[in-house]
Chains A and B, each alone.
Chain A
Amino acid sequence: QKEVEQNSGPLSVPEGAIASLNCTYSDRVSQSFFWYRQYSGKSPELIMSIYSNGDKEDGRFTAQLNKASQYVSLLIRDSQPSDSATYLCAVNTNAGKSTFGDGTTLTVKP
């Protein structure tokens, strides 16, 4: 079992729809959870961080964390073509050291 698993893609949604990205992790002592967006050929860009159970909203993005289920998700509302990218889930157990999932490629079709 991988330490961090993401739902296999690619994921395709129409413009304006909600995109849902899921991630599970195996290490129960994980403390910090992050979602990164990576455009092709570019470095990852942090878009959301979440540390406690529940929802965290930032603009069109909502991260959800459930530590009991070892599950973290990212919802993108009103998806735009510019949201098309690979989304990486990352989990930290030690300060700053991230274990990444394989990523889910999202395509938002106009």
Chain B
Amino acid sequence: GAVVSQHPSWVICKSGTSVKIECRSLDFQATTMFWYRQFPKQSLMLMATSNEGSKATYEQGVEKDKFLINHASLTLSTLTVTSAHPEDSSFYICSGSGWAGMGTEAFFGQGTRLTVV
């Protein structure tokens, strides 16, 4: 399958600081990137959908001013958690979708474990 690289794999930050997570599609052009959040023992919850060159679409209940998404190119999308608080501690996962010869599957990055202290 196609490869999506997500960095960093884990990060610890102080409350009130901002954290940027990068997601790159390595061998295909991801016209759409999805950002998910997963709390322990829960399923993935879609946060937002971003299309290259346009503003992200956020799911209900997700603060767009807190979770800034940039999808400036077909191979890179970033999620910035601004003014992070302990309740933002979670597993964040991106997935990229685009023609990679495999239909409409979305391919996941490795995930980022964020801990806010």
Contacts and interface: CB of A to CB of B under 8 A. Distances in A.
Do A and B truly interact? yes
Nearest to A89: B43
B113 A44 contact: no
A95 B42 CA distance: 24
B34 A51 contact: no
A101 B103 CA distance: 21
B42 A32 contact: no
B104 A32 contact: yes
A42 interface: yes
B49 interface: yes
B114 interface: no
A34 B111 CA distance: 19
Nearest to A49: B105
A10 to B, nearest CB: 11
Contacts, number: 59
Contacts of B18: none
B70 interface: no
B43 A98 contact: no
A46 interface: yes
A46 B105 contact: yes
Contacts of B91: 41
Contacts of B46: 97-99
Interface size on A, as a range, is 20 to 34
B110 A43 contact: yes
Nearest to B1: A46
Interface in A52-94: 88, 92
Contacts of A92: 104
Contacts of A32: 103-105
A110 B43 CA distance: 27
29 contacts: A32-B104, A32-B105, A34-B105, A36-B108, A41-B91, A41-B113, A42-B111, A43-B6, A43-B93, A43-B108, A44-B44, A44-B93, A44-B108, A46-B105, A46-B107, A49-B105, A51-B103, A88-B43, A88-B44, A92-B104, A95-B32, A96-B95, A96-B96, A96-B97, A97-B49, A97-B97, A98-B46, A101-B43, A103-B43
